[in-house]
């Protein structure tokens, strides 16, 4: 179990390193990471829930990409394909990894946190970099997912595949107010 977790985190950090440094990621890291994530989920005995989560997450990501395409097309007043224009193919592949690794509620929260960190990264790196117009979204996803997997498998603080536990944490936070 630990070897699998270390392998997943290693591949995610390699993806992040390549995205932050070269802005070019070798494509074969994504299927390797996806297979490792699937093996880890099936080892935990969550095969049916895993397939349901992957299906729902793919629909959420598809809806998000369609809405982004619609908004950018309306802004440009012509149909615009956002992949390779506004969004890189590595970013879309990293969304595929998120579909495997997270439950639907955790996916939405993770995307929100990722977009906030992306905006903060852009604001912080803008004065220091000439490439500041490019946001390494796949790299940020890789780092944050590595942290999430380390918190799940190493410290048992969170469960990335359990919506009820996440909603319990959120409900617990709001119940104190």
Q: What is the pTM of this model?
A: 0.82
In tens, the pLDDT along 43-95 reads 877 677 778 888 999 999 999 888 888 888 888 788 777 776 777 778 888 88
Confidence of residue 1 (pLDDT cuts 50, 70, 90): low
Q: Phi and psi dihedrals of 24, rounded to 5?
A: -145, 120
Token output for 102: 């997270």
Q: What is the pLDDT averaged over residues 166-173?
A: 68
Return the pLDDT at 131. 57
The pLDDT tens digits of the residues spanning 135-150 come to 788 888 888 988 888 8
Please report, for the chain, the start and end positions of each structural domain, with discontinuous segments joined by +.
2-175
Among 157, 163, 152, 166, which residue's Cα sits nearest to residue 8?
A: 152
Vertex 97 angle, CA 93 and 98, to 5°: 115
Structure token digits, residue 67: 């809405």
């Amino acid at each position: 179990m630990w070897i699998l977790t270390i392998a997943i985190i290693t591949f995610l950090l390699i993806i992040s390193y390549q995205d932050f440094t070269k802005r070019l990621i070798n494509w074969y890291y994504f299927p390797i990471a996806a297979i490792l994530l699937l093996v880890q989920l099936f080892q935990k005995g969550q095969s049916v829930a895993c397939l349901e989560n992957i299906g729902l997450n793919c629909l959420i990501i598809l809806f998000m990409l369609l809405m982004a395409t619609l908004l950018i097309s309306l802004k440009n007043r012509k149909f615009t394909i956002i992949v390779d224009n506004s969004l890189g193919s590595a970013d879309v592949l990293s969304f595929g990894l998120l579909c495997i690794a997270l439950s639907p509620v955790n996916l939405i929260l993770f995307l929100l946190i990722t977009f906030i960190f992306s905006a903060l990264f852009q604001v912080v790196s803008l004065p220091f970099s000439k490439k500041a117009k490019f946001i390494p979204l796949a790299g940020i996803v890789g780092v944050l997912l590595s942290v999430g997997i380390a918190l799940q498998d190493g410290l048992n603080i969170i469960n990335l595949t359990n919506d009820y536990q996440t909603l319990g944490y959120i409900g617990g936070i709001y119940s104190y107010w």
